[in-house]
Structure 1
Amino acid sequence: MRLKVVIISLVSLLLMGCGDKTKPQKSDIPLFEAFLASNPISEVSSEIAIASIYKPGDALFNAVWGVQRRRWDIAEKELKPWVEKNDPEAMFWMASIIYGSSILDTPKAKRLFMESAKLGNPYAALFFSPKNNQCQLYYSDVCSEEWVSKAQTLFAEQAKKGDVRGIYYSKVLNNPTHEEYVQAVIEAAENHYYYPLVEYANKTARKHEPNKDMEKMAIKLLQYARYHNFVPAIEMLANYEAKNKRTSSLQMKTLYEQGLKLGSKKLWQSYIALAINNGKINNNELFITAQAADIFFGGLIGLGLIDKPKDEDELKEANKKAQEKVDEVKKVIYIDGAHVPLY
């Protein structure tokens, strides 16, 4: 199994170089208040309205579903035949999960990224931005603004077709004013692309001593995305609860429930770790949850610390229930080429 202890967010890294243009400001509050007032939601939606790049049944769905779950074994197996057909998206995803893995895979990934970019994948082109530290780390000889220009052109082409990501990234890569950036974030959220909204909120909420008004707004924005079942928002709210020493709060409980149903690895891990430590869940239920996580993610710390049911029939029933938990997880792709999880 391949392992790289890093999360890359290609476009986010690029935006860090835009300085104050993407820095949250108090003057943004009325803009976001107006957005929330015109798009009211106060409880978790029964539907998952996320602008996913793939739906179940799409050619690359199972491959990217594997990437999202950090199941590199599944992802590579599913991607390989499409890479052999020179599919640019498959090339990008394959490169994203293998670069930096070995002295053989690193040059292979470089070739795949470049071929993908030349064939029209904007995220592959953006990987070679000089502001992307992963490019600087592995392929410093080819990182250049020319690739950023290539990405801008490709995103603009996607925007013309109404693609929500193409619209957003073609705007934010085109030297926007701060207000134009905020409006692009809002427009993306209105079209169910929540990453920009969550990233904006995270810039404020993660500060050691954030402005209180901005902090309140950040939490409202995260709640908005969370009510729409967007996993990164759920995870950030859980981090916020933990940061404020509220791991036993009602809010945290509901975040765990929602995160487990949507396949959040962070919340599965945290839930199991806390359950082991506090001893409030009986061993059989704990085994079922840990076994389900092990099946879903292909190996998860915690299962080895839990005793299996000793009775053969009980173990069989527990394994059945674990598989049922796995089958209940909603199959929704929320990652994209700008947000590739790699740990």
Structure 2
Amino acid sequence: MKVTISTLLLVFSFLALNGCSKVTEPQQADIAVFEQFLSENPISSINPSIDIASIYQPGDPLFESVLYIQRNLWAEAKKQLEPMAKNQNPDAKFWLASITWGTGIKNNPIAKKLYMESAEQGNPYAALFFSPKNDICQMYYSSECSEEWVDKAQKLFVEKAKTGDVRAVYYSTVLKPDLTHEQYINAIISAAENHHYYPLVKYSITLRESEKSNQEMKELASDLLNYARFYNFVPAIDALMNHEGKHKRMKGHFYKELMQQGVAMGSNDAWGGYSILSRHNDHLTETQKYIVAKANYLFNGDGFGISFVTPPKEKDALIAANKKAQEKANSVKRVIYIDGAHVPEG
């Protein structure tokens, strides 16, 4: 199984429109458009309900498998996906391929075959994987990367868009060869209004990091990221946490608020930070530190912190601590925020 790297949205966005073109590059005129969007959709505090356009809901055949992938528990995901892939489920093939490439020389051809079959069977994300703009395709399957696959993906998205799939509506638009900047911005806003926040977060990060962005544009980026995080969208929480971390503000109230929200919503980054800060918190007992480290391991398989804490020596105390750790891990919201265009990269 691949060892995943805890990173931000940019690591996830390996399929769609890598790099900035003149069409997707932020412009000063965008400020007025997004300010109008924010004024028409006011939200200034965390939504008590979770309103995210997830690809799968509890009870869907692929829900548990994709939730495992999101939480970096890829061995468990593989066990569930393999039989579904053998039964010719194109979505299962896509997700299985996504956690197979890069795991060994022998596995790369297997992943390629799964991606190809998934694309041929109608999964647009599998077709988009073979875009020339996808660095992963260029690295592992360069001879297969072509614009023909992008055209196929766009046509598949057009068909899916007819069913009301908000992601398909977005990608069927932004993959058009004659896309304009206005269409691109409107597609981002339309997606956000339908609770698909990845495009908004990706745009915000680009806006914040662009050398051409002025202070006003950077402030807009923060406003947009806060908008998405108020709707409990984990990649927005992670982006804001990363920004605070870069400016050495990890001890501030805002960072702690983001971490608390991220832990509750299932952010791997937040859980990692929570585990580290807990170990160095002199106000916690060794048992309390153990419970946090154990909960982190139960949640997403990250057992690194356990080696730095001391478990209770008495059997009953250890059982009680493990129970509390399990309860803490179980309290995390079971919401999928990744999708076919934003898969954790190993």
TM-score above 0.5: yes
| Superposition map of 1:104-115 within 5 A | 104-115=106-117
Counterpart of 2:323 in structure 1 is 320
Tell me the secondary structure at the aligned position of residue 64 of structure 2. helix
Contact 1:234-1:259 at 8 Å conserved across structures = yes
Counterpart of 1:147 in structure 2 is 149
CA distance in 2, matches of 1:137, 1:116: 20
CA distance in 1, matches of 2:328, 2:159: 41
CA distance in 2, matches of 1:90, 1:74: 14
Q: May I ask how many residue pairs the two structures share in their alignment? A: 341
Counterpart of 1:202 in structure 2 is 205
4+ residue stretches of structure 1 with deviation over 6 A?
A: none
Counterpart of 1:3 in structure 2 is 3
CA distance in 2, matches of 1:314, 1:95: 43
Counterpart of 1:101 in structure 2 is 103
Aligned sequence identity (%):
50
**1:275–1:127: structure 2 CA closer, same or farther, 3 Å change rule?**
same
Counterpart of 2:342 in structure 1 is 339
1:51-76 CA distance string (max 9 Å, x none)? 00100010000110111011111110
Instruction: Give the deviation of 1:15 after TM superposition.
Output: 4.2
User: Which deviates more from structure 2 when the two are superposed, residues 82-91 or residues 265-274?
Assistant: 265-274
User: Which deviates more from structure 2 when the two are superposed, residues 113-122 or residues 203-212?
Assistant: 203-212
Instruction: Give the deviation of 1:8 after TM superposition.
Output: 4.2
1:116-171 CA distance string (max 9 Å, x none)? 00000000000001111110111011111110010010001111111100100011
Counterpart of 2:182 in structure 1 is 179
Matched to 1:59, the amino acid is: P
Contact 2:275-2:296 at 8 Å conserved across structures = no
TM-score by structure 1 length?
0.96
Matched to 1:2, the amino acid is: K
CA distance in 1, matches of 2:27, 2:246: 23
Contact 2:201-2:236 at 8 Å conserved across structures = yes
| Superposition map of 1:3-152 within 5 A | 3=3, 5=5, 7-12=11-16, 14-16=17-19, 19-152=21-154
Tell me the secondary structure at the aligned position of residue 10 of structure 1. coil
303, 308, 313: which one aligns with 1:305: 308
Tell me the secondary structure at the aligned position of residue 344 of structure 2. strand
**1:314–1:210: structure 2 CA closer, same or farther, 3 Å change rule?**
farther
Instruction: Give the deviation of 1:77 after TM superposition.
Output: 0.7
Contact 1:156-1:166 at 8 Å conserved across structures = yes
Flag the structure with higher helix content.
Answer: 1
Instruction: Give the deviation of 1:219 after TM superposition.
Output: 0.5
User: Which deviates more from structure 2 when the two are superposed, residues 227-236 or residues 277-286?
Assistant: 277-286
Instruction: Give the deviation of 1:207 after TM superposition.
Output: 4.9
Contact 1:269-1:301 at 8 Å conserved across structures = no
Matched to 2:229, the amino acid is: R
User: Which deviates more from structure 2 when the two are superposed, residues 154-163 or residues 203-212?
Assistant: 203-212
**1:249–1:210: structure 2 CA closer, same or farther, 3 Å change rule?**
farther
CA distance in 2, matches of 1:148, 1:300: 40
Instruction: Give the deviation of 1:80 after TM superposition.
Output: 1.1
Tell me the secondary structure at the aligned position of residue 340 of structure 1. coil
Matched to 1:215, the amino acid is: K
CA distance in 2, matches of 1:284, 1:74: 28
Name stretches of at least 5 consecutive residues in structure 1 with no aligned partner. none
276, 279, 282: which one aligns with 1:276: 279
CA distance in 2, matches of 1:101, 1:340: 15
TM-score by structure 2 length?
0.95
CA distance in 1, matches of 2:23, 2:63: 35
User: Which deviates more from structure 2 when the two are superposed, residues 203-212 or residues 312-321?
Assistant: 203-212
Counterpart of 1:294 in structure 2 is 297
**1:253–1:176: structure 2 CA closer, same or farther, 3 Å change rule?**
same
Instruction: Give the deviation of 1:103 after TM superposition.
Output: 1.8
Contact 2:170-2:187 at 8 Å conserved across structures = yes
**1:161–1:118: structure 2 CA closer, same or farther, 3 Å change rule?**
same
Counterpart of 2:194 in structure 1 is 191
| Superposition map of 1:195-234 within 5 A | 195-207=198-210, 210-234=213-237
**1:268–1:209: structure 2 CA closer, same or farther, 3 Å change rule?**
farther
Instruction: Give the deviation of 1:280 after TM superposition.
Output: 4.0
User: Which deviates more from structure 2 when the two are superposed, residues 160-169 or residues 266-275?
Assistant: 266-275
1:217-248 CA distance string (max 9 Å, x none)? 10110001000000000010101111122111
